[in-house]
Amino acid sequence: MRDFQGLPNPFSRVPAEGDDLASAERQWRSAVSPGPAGQGKDGIESVAELRRAMAEGRVTATAVTQHYLDRITRLNPALGAVIAVTPDALEQAAASDAAWRAGKPRGPLDGIPVLVKDNVQVAGLPATAGSAALLPARPPDAFIVGQLRAAGAIIIAKANLSEWANFRSTRSSSGWSTVGGQTANPYALDRNPSGSSSGSASGLSAGFAPLAIGTETDGSIVSPSSACGVVGVKPTLGLVSRAGIVPLSLAQDTAGPMATSVADAAALLSVLAAADPADSAADHPGSFIDYTSFLDPASLEGARIGIWRAPSANADAVTEALLEQAVGCLRDLGAVVVDPVDLPDIEKVTEPEFEALNFEFKHGINTYLKYLSDFADGSDPALPRSLADLIAFNDKHAARVLAHFGQEIFLAAESTSGDLADPVYLEHRGAAARLARTAVETPVVEHRLDAIFSLTANPAWLTDYVLGDHSVFGTSRPGAVSGWPAVSVPFGYVCGLPVGVSFLGPRFSEPRLLALAYAFEQASRARRAPELLRTACATPQPGQA
């Protein structure tokens, strides 16, 4: 099997014991801060500040991009968050510098590097979904990558992910792919980053870029965002185009922004949420929305927030205590807290959802592979043309591809008809959709809620190739199956491992959700930069939660 041939991946040195992310970040801030010898005010910490520095000539896009490339080179051997850097990243940066010098920045992200998950097409590179089977193709830019380029963003690297968006095995290790290996959690290297947007979350948190693109079918943006201490936005289904993204389920798939702050996530969503004639919801807002214009630190005052406690009921006491602290923060900010709220029968969604996903994956991947064949480079091995071909490819290369876990989900999906008109499929998808919609609409209507609030997921588990992932709870399913948007924001820590909180709301309520999340973030100021520790503490200590 080939690797990314000819692409600049000089990942040769594992950080020494003295290396840490926090000190590297301090050096970066010192270098770009105004004042004599870099001894000025606080350094550049946001997209807005980077743009201001570029406009004022204090820093160039080339210098910014080189900084992140150097950081990737130095730290990626330990994190495994990046599959490949883009060969023309510095050329893209030079074009941004020319635009800034001319006083004509091309868009709201001119000169800003972005990590792109490697199931999203970027021209000139394969979009592997973590599988070597897709290496022979060079498809064009996905619609959202075109949006990024038009906004002036620099596509700096492709991020690792859980292979096939974690839809290959029932005992997988999130963050592992054949092409990229295992992504680690930047807060503790023996901990898992969660999936499937593992590299996007880990690399973003570790400072490989100011922004990242993730994708989600059920939890794959919000869960790794929580585990890696960043902000993740799972948009309304159909708000962001899926064209040019390796599919899992078009009934649930969406791309979305990831950032270290709500403001940066809002800025990225403003670029991504353009209407795509080939793939947008019928009720898409259509015109451009500047989501940053809704950010108000007083947004929680008078807001009606329902607390969904049931998912985290089995969490450990330290994690559960974070929910109490978060609810207290909401009250202090003037929210009208309805505590608790119930999402009726939400637990019944799991079975029909998964059965429907099997049909949808077979249908979607077969269609996508036929499309992808137009962009094959003719190398050996040939590009697979169907799910059956992928299964055969994995079997042929089992020593590498199936080294840690199997392909039980692939086999289950292949056993379906893959026909989206099949009555069996329609029954499963219909049941899942009805249950999810009823579950989320009931408390919102009954209590006139602005949002449903919960912990996003449990702290990061130890990466384990024997038993697979150890997820205790997650709260992504209601939004994933109903198509409602959700925003996860860093809040607390257990043994130094991040735990996020989520705001879930009705379709196209992103302006309100981002405003609420922003107000919460500004008041709590909870995020701490990771330090690339070898391991987390054994047991929680007082004050660590």
- How many beta carbons lie within 10 A of that of residue 16, not counting itself? 7
The radius of gyration computed from the CA coordinates of the chain, to the nearest angstrom, equals: 22
Determine the 3-state secondary structure of 401 from DSSP.
Answer: helix
φ, ψ dihedrals at 189, nearest 5°:
-65, -20
**CB-facing half-sphere around the CA of 258: CA atoms within 13 A:** 37
φ, ψ dihedrals at 258, nearest 5°:
-135, 140
Residues 6+ positions from 131 with CB-CB distance below 8 Å? 163, 164, 177, 178, 179, 390, 401
Residue in the block written with tokens 């949420």: 273
Both tokens of residue 96? 């941004």
E strand map for 272-396 = 304-307, 336-338
List the one residue out of 441, 412, 506 whose CA is nearest residue 170.
412
Helix boundaries (H) for 237-304: 262-272
- How many beta carbons lie within 10 A of that of residue 453, not counting itself? 28
Separation between Cα atoms, residue 338 and residue 366, nearest integer Å: 46
Catalytic residue IDs: 117, 196, 220
CB 421 within 8 A of CB 366: no
List the one residue out of 2, 47, 338, 20 whose CA is nearest residue 178.
2
Separation between Cα atoms, residue 228 and residue 456, nearest integer Å: 12
List the one residue out of 269, 301, 264 whose CA is nearest residue 288.
269
Compute the Cα dihedral for 94, 44, 536, 195 and give only its sign: negative
Both tokens of residue 258? 């990831």
Both tokens of residue 264? 């940066």
Residue in the block written with tokens 């876990």: 405
Q: Which amino acid is at 311?
A: P
Both tokens of residue 72? 């990737």
Chain centre distance of CA 398: 28
Residue 310 DSSP label: G
Separation between Cα atoms, residue 155 and residue 153, nearest integer Å: 6
Residues 6+ positions from 25 with CB-CB distance below 8 Å? 207, 529
Separation between Cα atoms, residue 58 and residue 395, nearest integer Å: 54
**CB-facing half-sphere around the CA of 11: CA atoms within 13 A:** 18
Strand partners, 114: 155, 211
Both tokens of residue 292? 């940053």
